[in-house]
Amino acid sequence: MNGQIKKITAGRAAVKNVIHQRFRSVVLLILFAVTAALLFLSSFLSESMGEGIERARQRLGADVIVVPAAYVTNVDNALFLGKPCTVNFERNWIDRIAAVKGVSKVSSQLFLASLGASCCDNLIQLIAFDPETDFSVGPWLSEKGIGSISDDEIIVGRNIRKKPGESVQFFGRHFTVKAVLDETGIGYDSSAFITYGAAYAIAGDPRYKNQLPFSGNRSISAVFVKTDGSTASEGLKTAVAEQYGAAGIRVFAGDELVSRFADTLRDFRIYGKMLMFLFFVFAGTALFALSAVTVQTRSREFGNMLTAGIRKTQIFRMLFTETALLAGTGSTAGFVSITIFLRLFDTHLKELFAVPYVLPDVYSMTRIVLEMSAAVSVLYLISLTAQFVRINNMEPVSLVHEVNG
Amino acid sequence: MTLEAKNIGRKYIRQNKSFDALNNVNLRISGGEFVCIFGESGSGKTTLLNCLSGISRPESGTVFINDSDIFSLREGRRTKLRNSEIGYVMQNGGLLGNFTVSENIVFPQTINGFSVNEERLYEILSRLGLGDVADSCPEQLSGGEYRRAELARAVYAAPEIIIADEPTGNLDEDNAEIVRNFLDEQYRSGKCVIVATHDSAFVRNRYRFYRMKQGMLTAEG
């Protein structure tokens, strides 16, 4: 006998069983891991999109947006998905829209797709804006105590990995990063904001004449409108469309642009929940069957335990620990692997779903993890119930196949 | 300690025909007695031992330990009796495959909160010639070692009643002799030993012998 014999409790016996019954343990681990991973992924994506859309709604700030009809898709992609574009719109539309009844404030932005930049692998959306009048970035700058920016300064989105004070070059011009915008979940995260003065200087540079088809300093890309409070967004949209619809513009209520994504999210949630429900039923059934079969194949072992004076409650406690070990390890593995997956493929997922997307905050993450744990616990209880029912209904002798001598 | 079966009966159905595995069996054994039950296969010996150990409930009659009806106890209490008062070596039992021999022997006690009694464990292992295989897994044991390990587990808690079903079945003579001598020691130390066997080598002075036939038990001497 080598050394001291360790006292074997139900917990230690459970660990031994888990280690020795490798195939069964691995199958159960995988089942718990996949269930937890899918539950977590589905909830996480749904939450990220929901948060992204809400942030987009808040960040956009405009009640009505007017864009040239030929560039609707480009502006839409630039605003929400960060796909760079260059849009040319006559500046005089600012005054024309401002004159419509019900308009309180107007602002504009100018979109320029960058050429290759020193900072980034991909093209970047440059947006010229007026800090004094802008609804989207202006209020944020005020909140941060940044009154205005000069022509050689730039505000960068979260995805442009630059820090305040660092330098970045666009169209051969050096800009100093003044601030990094808080995560928005929309195209602004991959955009950089400059003054109209800087944008027009770039546009006037003969080297970029072919890339930037602007007409001097009379170009903008979109007009952002606030109502005066007496008119609803939809009403103002109709009024502008009726007055100028034939002039090659498209008018959107701010919510209308965002609600398109809300519809996508709703579909995603419905299909996601249906899929999860089906998988959950499948996993529950598989686990129940697997547990029942496991107890069946281990019936001789349990019969021997009962014969040796080990009570059913102790056997059940051992199985409880075995299943808890597998459920805990499996769901943790599922959670960790999905977290790594989300970290590695964050950008690809944003592109894949083409919906504003923001990582959930700590509160939401905690809620998701708790929901996931609750769902896994339900499966765990299903598994335990299957085992408990079998064990509770058995007579020791029937388990070891009574043989008449 | 007294073990008593009173009018116990149990029927089985085989090939759509009912037959008596136990037919009104009466038996009373006290501490310091060794009872051997002989009989052909299918005569009811195993069913009787299963009822005496409380792992199978008779359809009529009952079993008493010290005048206490064990089948009136809750199942948990009855199981606990096998943890302390009754050591049962089943004919087709088995050790737990994931544990070593030593662990198998102590597990029924340690899971109930008792510490490992190393002195007792060592004494039993050496008495049954299992010292060299104490750390082996059951699958590494020979048939004789396996059977002795089952016996070791049954007696580790020092139960007053030891029940063994064919304890020398399929063993070579050396192994069988070790088992017979060990059970004899238990009897001599005042334990109540009941053995169902075909092994005529159990015929020794002072043992009580019974024969089982078609579910009925008759005394032979």
Nearest-CA neighbor of A115 among A45, A43, A28, A211?
A211
Return the residue in B49, B55, B102 with the most chain A beta carbons within 10 A, the one to mutate for interface testing: B55
User: Mean pLDDT lowest for which of A95-104, A376-385, B56-65, B155-164?
Assistant: A376-385
Got the DSSP string for A83-140? ------EETTHHHHHHTSTTEEEEEEEEEEE--SBTTBSS--EEEEE-TTT-SSSHHH
Decide if A5 and B88 are in contact by the 8 Å CB cutoff. Answer: no
Q: What is the dihedral of CA A378, A382, A387, A392, to 10 degrees?
A: 100
- From residue A40, how far is each of A32, A280, A372 by CA, in Å? 12, 13, 6
- Which pair of tokens denotes residue B73? 């106890």
Partner residue opposite B56 with nearest CB, options A2, A16, A395: A395
CA separation (Å) from A266 to A47, A254, A270, A355? 11, 19, 6, 12
If you average pLDDT over every residue of chain B, what do you get?
Answer: 92
Phi, psi at B197, each rounded to 5°: -155, 160
- Please give the order of strands across the beta sheet that includes B60-65: B17-30, B2-14, B60-65, B68-69
Q: Do B92 and A400 touch (CB under 8 A)?
A: yes
Provide, as residue numbers in chain A, all residues whose Cβ is less than 8 Å from the Cβ of B135.
1-2
d(CA B165, CA B149): 14
Contacts of A301 in chain B (CB under 8 A): 94, 96-97
Inform me whether the C-beta atom of residue B75 falls under 8 Å from chain A C-beta atoms: yes
Q: Do B111 and A403 count as a contact with CB atoms less than 8 A apart? A: no
Q: Do A404 and B43 touch (CB under 8 A)?
A: yes
Is residue B122 within 8 angstroms of chain A, CB to CB?
Answer: yes
Kindly identify which residue of chain A lies nearest to residue B105, measuring between CA atoms. A308
Interchain CB contact of A21 with B (< 8 Å): yes
Residues sharing a CB contact under 8 Å with residue A74, sequence separation 6 or more, in sequence order: A83, A85, A87, A111
- The pLDDT of residue A405 is 44
Q: Which residue has the higher pLDDT, A147 or B131?
A: B131
Interstrand relation of B34-39 and B192-196 (parallel, antiparallel or unpaired): parallel
Cα–Cα dist A155/A286, whole Å: 54
| A&B contacts, CB < 8 Å | 136
Mutate to test the interface with A, among B107, B133, B135, B216 (most CBs of A within 10 A): B107
Q: With beta carbons under 8 A apart, name residues in chain A contacting B154.
A: 308
- Domain extent listing, chain A: 10-55+261-401, 61-253
Contacts of A23 (CB under 8 A, 6+ apart): none
Q: Which helix (DSSP H) or strand (DSSP E) does residue A55 occupy?
A: helix A22-60
Q: Contact A308/B153, CB-based, under 8 Å?
A: yes
Residue B42 has φ and ψ, to the nearest 5°, of: 85, 5
What is the model's pLDDT at position A216? 66
pTM of the shown model: 0.70
B100 to chain A: closest CA residue: A5
CA dist., res. B58 & res. B75, Å (int): 14
> Nearest CB to B165: which of A9, A301, A405?
A405
Q: A261 to chain B nearest CA, in Å? A: 56
Using the Cβ of B23 and the Cβ atoms of chain A, whether some distance falls under 8 Å is answered with no
Beta strands in chain B (DSSP E): 2-14, 17-30, 34-39, 60-65, 68-69, 86-89, 161-165, 192-196, 208-213, 216-219
Euclidean distance between the first and final Cα of chain A, in Å? 36
Test the A interface: residue of B46, B49, B111 with most A CBs within 10 Å:
B111
Query: What is the layout of strands, in order, in the sheet containing B192-196?
Result: B86-89, B161-165, B192-196, B34-39, B208-213, B216-219
B83/A308 CB distance under 8 A:
yes
Sheet of strand A249-253: strand arrangement = A167-170, A173-180, A153-156, A191-195, A125-129, A103-113, A222-227, A64-68, A249-253
Is B12 in CB contact (< 8 Å) with chain A?
A: yes
The answer to whether residue A400 neighbours chain B at the CB level (below 8 Å) is yes
User: Best interface-test mutation with B: which of A311, A315, A394, A395 has the largest number of B CBs within 10 A?
Assistant: A311
| pLDDT at position A377 | 80
B110: nearest CB among A7, A318, A395: A7
Cβ within 8 Å, pair A8-B106: yes
How far is the alpha carbon of B174 from chain A, nearest alpha carbon, in Å?
23
- Comparing B115 with A245, the larger pLDDT belongs to B115
Radius of gyration from C-alpha coordinates of chain B: 17
Residues of chain B neighbouring A22 (CB-CB closer than 8 A): none
For residue B29, give both structure tokens: 């054994």
Q: Name the one residue in this structure whose structure tokens are 């589905």.
A: A42
Q: How far apart are CA B157 and CA A48, in angstroms?
A: 61
CA angle, A164 as apex, A162 and A169 as ends, to 5°? Answer: 55
Q: For the domain B32-42+74-220, what is the CATH code?
A: 3.40.50.300
Which residue matches tokens 């944008």? A199
Q: Would you call A22 an interface residue with chain B, using a CB distance cutoff of 8 Å?
A: no
User: What does DSSP say about strands A191-195 and A125-129: parallel, antiparallel, or unpaired?
Assistant: parallel
Do residues B90 and A399 make contact, with C-beta atoms less than 8 angstroms apart? no
The domain limits of chain B are: 32-42+74-220
Is the CB of B60 inside 8 Å of chain A's CB atoms? Answer: no
CA distance A31 to A86: 49
Q: What token pair was written down for B149?
A: 């390990």
Instruction: Enter the ipTM.
Output: 0.92
pLDDT tens, chain A, 405 aa long? 666 777 888 899 999 999 988 888 898 889 889 888 888 888 888 888 777 777 777 777 788 889 888 888 888 778 777 788 888 888 888 989 999 888 989 999 888 887 765 556 667 888 998 888 888 778 878 887 887 889 999 999 888 888 899 998 888 889 999 999 887 777 788 889 999 889 888 888 888 777 777 766 778 888 999 888 788 888 888 888 888 877 788 888 877 777 777 777 778 778 877 887 888 788 888 877 877 777 778 888 888 999 999 998 898 889 889 888 988 899 899 989 988 888 888 777 777 776 666 777 788 888 888 887 888 788 777 777 777 777 777 777 777 663 344
Phi, psi for residue B9 in degrees, rounded to 5: -140, 150
Top mean pLDDT of A64-78, A342-356, B8-22, B115-129 is at B115-129
Taking CB atoms and an 8 Å cutoff, what residues of chain B touch A402?
46-47, 50, 56
CB of A7 less than 8 A from some CB of B: yes
Using the beta-carbon criterion (under 8 Å), do A1 and B134 form an inter-chain contact? yes
B212 near B48, Cβ under 8 Å?
A: yes
Q: Which residue, A192, A126, A194, is CA-closest to A156?
A: A192
A36 burial (CB, 10 Å; 0-12 / 13-18 / 19+) is buried
Per-residue tokens: A395: 């007579």
CA–CA dist A10, A314 (Å, integer): 7
User: Cβ B45–A314 below 8 Å, yes or no?
Assistant: no
Which residue matches tokens 């050396």? Answer: B174
Chain B residue with the nearest C-alpha to that of A18: B98
Q: What is the dihedral of CA B48, B53, B56, B59, to 10 degrees?
A: 60
Q: What residue type is assigned to position A106 of the chain? A: V
Kindly provide the b/e burial profile for residues A305-318, where b requires at least 16 CB atoms within 10 angstroms of the residue's own CB: bbbbbbbbebbbbb
CB-based contact (8 Å) between A309 and chain B?
yes
pLDDT tens for each residue of B66-82: 989 999 999 889 999 99
Backbone angles phi, psi at A307, to 5 degrees: -65, -35
